[in-house]
Structure 1
Amino acid sequence: MSDNRFKIVFDGALLPGVESTTAKLNLAELFKSEVEAIEKLFTGRPVALKRDLSRPDAETYLTALKNAGVDARIEPEQPVAFSLAETHETESSNTDYSRPAASPYAPPRATVGDDLPEYATLKVFTIHGRIGRLRYLAWTLVLTLALLVAGGIISTVSFAVATASPVLGTLIGVVLGLALFVALVWVSVQIGVQRLHDLGWSGWLYFLNLVPLVNSVFPILLLVLPGNAGANQYGAPPPRNSTAVKVLATLWLAFIPVVLAIVVTLGMNGYLDQLEANMDSSYESSSITSDDEADQAATVEEDDAQSADEAAEPVDSPEQ
Structure 2
Amino acid sequence: MSTITSTPLWAPLYGASFGEAFSRFWKKYATFSGRASRSEYWYWALANGLVLLVLFGVTLALGLPTSTIDPATGASTPGVIAVIGLVLIGAWTLATVIPGLALTVRRLHDINFSGWMWFLNLIPSIGSLIIFIFTVLPSDPRGARFDQPTA
Same fold (TM > 0.5): yes
Aligned partner of 2:127 in structure 1 is 214
**1:149 and 2:30 equivalent?**
no
* Higher relative helix content: 2
Structure 2, unmatched stretches of 5+, are 1-5, 14-23, 69-75
Aligned-pair CA distance for 1:192: 0.8
CA distance in 2, matches of 1:229, 1:136: 19
Identity between Structure 1 and Structure 2 (%): 31
Aligned partner of 2:101 in structure 1 is 189
Between the two proteins, the alignment pairs up a number of residues equal to: 118
- Judged with a 3 Å threshold, the aligned counterparts in structure 2 of structure 1 residues 143 and 177 are, in CA distance, closer, same or farther, namely closer
110, 132, 135: which is aligned to 2:37? 132
- Judged with a 3 Å threshold, the aligned counterparts in structure 2 of structure 1 residues 208 and 230 are, in CA distance, closer, same or farther, namely closer
Matches within 5 A, 1:145-184: 145-159=50-64, 161-162=66-67, 166-169=77-80, 171-184=83-96
- Bigger Rg, structure 1 or 2: 1
111, 115, 129: which is aligned to 1:199? 111
User: RCO higher in 1 or 2 (8 Å CA, sep ≥ 6)?
Assistant: 2
- Judged with a 3 Å threshold, the aligned counterparts in structure 2 of structure 1 residues 187 and 160 are, in CA distance, closer, same or farther, namely farther
- Judged with a 3 Å threshold, the aligned counterparts in structure 2 of structure 1 residues 171 and 135 are, in CA distance, closer, same or farther, namely closer
- Judged with a 3 Å threshold, the aligned counterparts in structure 2 of structure 1 residues 177 and 210 are, in CA distance, closer, same or farther, namely same
Q: TM-score, normalised by structure 2?
A: 0.57
The DSSP-based 3-state class of the residue aligned with 1:189 is: helix
- Judged with a 3 Å threshold, the aligned counterparts in structure 2 of structure 1 residues 171 and 219 are, in CA distance, closer, same or farther, namely same
Aligned-pair CA distance for 1:148: 0.9
Residues 200 and 227 in structure 1, CA contact (< 8 A), matched pair in contact too? yes
CA distance in 1, matches of 2:142, 2:148: 12
CA distance in 1, matches of 2:55, 2:114: 31
Aligned-pair CA distance for 1:136: 1.8
Structure 1, unmatched stretches of 5+, are 1-117, 237-320
Aligned-pair CA distance for 1:132: 1.2
Residues 127 and 193 in structure 1, CA contact (< 8 A), matched pair in contact too? no
Residues 55 and 89 in structure 2, CA contact (< 8 A), matched pair in contact too? no
Output the amino acid matched with 1:190: A
Residues 147 and 184 in structure 1, CA contact (< 8 A), matched pair in contact too? no
Runs of 4+ with >6 A deviation? none
RMSD: 3.2
Matches within 5 A, 1:74-85: none
Residues 58 and 85 in structure 2, CA contact (< 8 A), matched pair in contact too? no
CA distance in 1, matches of 2:37, 2:122: 23
The DSSP-based 3-state class of the residue aligned with 2:145 is: coil
Output the amino acid matched with 2:108: L
CA distance in 1, matches of 2:128, 2:139: 19
CA distance in 1, matches of 2:99, 2:140: 20
Aligned-pair CA distance for 1:173: 4.5
CA distance in 1, matches of 2:90, 2:139: 34
**CA offsets per residue over residues 91-112 of structure 1, 9 Å max, x none?**
xxxxxxxxxxxxxxxxxxxxxx
Matches within 5 A, 1:5-84: none
Aligned-pair CA distance for 1:157: 4.1
Residues 25 and 103 in structure 2, CA contact (< 8 A), matched pair in contact too? yes
